[in-house]
Amino acid sequence: MLIDSHAHIQGKEYVGEVEAVILRAREAGVDTIIAVGGAGDMSSNTAAIALAKSIPNIYATVGMHPHDAKDVGAEELKTLKELASRQKVVAVGEAGLDFYYNHSPRDVQRRVFSQFIHLARETRLPIVVHERDAAREVAELLRVEGAGDLRGVIHCFTGDYDSARAYLDLGFFLSFTGIITFKNAEALRDIVRKVPLERMLVETDSPYLTPVPHRGKRNEPAFVRLVAETVGKVKEISFEDVAAVTTANVRELFKL
């Protein structure tokens, strides 16, 4: 069986369709989904928790995307700390730095990401990290603020091997999406070849980053199978091995 380690199926894109989406996932061999909070506003966190509470084998995370770091203050952090204690919440995040879009000022992103690292340490939960065009800064904050007392995953990894190595040296997992199925993603597939399977997760980031041959359509957890199959082809190992090891990795990281 497979686990989609990062999806946003609690979002508006799936209203009225969640049960059908989950059924298709199970038919594809995906029996567990991590519903990741923090995309858009605080309501994505409560929606993820509500979904996890209502459906077996769905788990939630709570955080705020770096795009919205400018909206995170003391009250929001207090609320997130309380939400992190809820049943079936397995991680803090997503949180991190996005220096590609810069929807929030960079200094604000750094401050808020540091606060989320501290929250993960305080709650003893792993952290789900969003990073784009900020690998050096993210690795440094994880090293300094994490103080060797932090577990987590770099979701939707798209960096080079030097940044992959920096994250691996910190003990983090790297998670790969449907991007690895894209024709122009050979450089990223080369990273997949080099990263040990024991340090990899697979995800959809639904509703985004739909893999080939469904590119252009809304993504959903069933399609994580295509990501895992591509990992197997790239690493020249069986799909069954990819499924077994990445599932074990998710269970280890999130203590499922």
pLDDT of residue 208: 97
Tell me the CB-side half-sphere exposure of residue 89, using CA atoms within 13 A.
28
CATH class of 2-254: alpha beta
Of the candidates 94, 146, 87, 89, which has an alpha carbon nearest to the alpha carbon of residue 117?
Answer: 146
Q: Per-domain residue ranges for the chain?
A: 2-254
Lookup: tokens for 43: 């309501």
Outline where the chain has alpha helix (H).
Answer: 18-27, 43-54, 74-84, 106-123, 135-146, 161-169, 186-194, 224-235, 239-254
pLDDT of residue 71: 94
What integer is the mean pLDDT of 164-179?
98
**Predicted structure pTM score:** 0.97
pLDDT of residue 98: 98
pLDDT at 226 over 80: yes
pLDDT digits (tens, 9 = 90+) for 102-149: 999 999 999 999 999 999 999 999 999 999 999 999 999 999 999 889
pLDDT of residue 252: 98
Lookup: tokens for 197: 């399977």
pLDDT at 9 over 80: yes
- Number of neighbouring beta carbons within 10 Å of residue 82: 10
> Using only C-alpha atoms, what is the Rg of the chain?
17
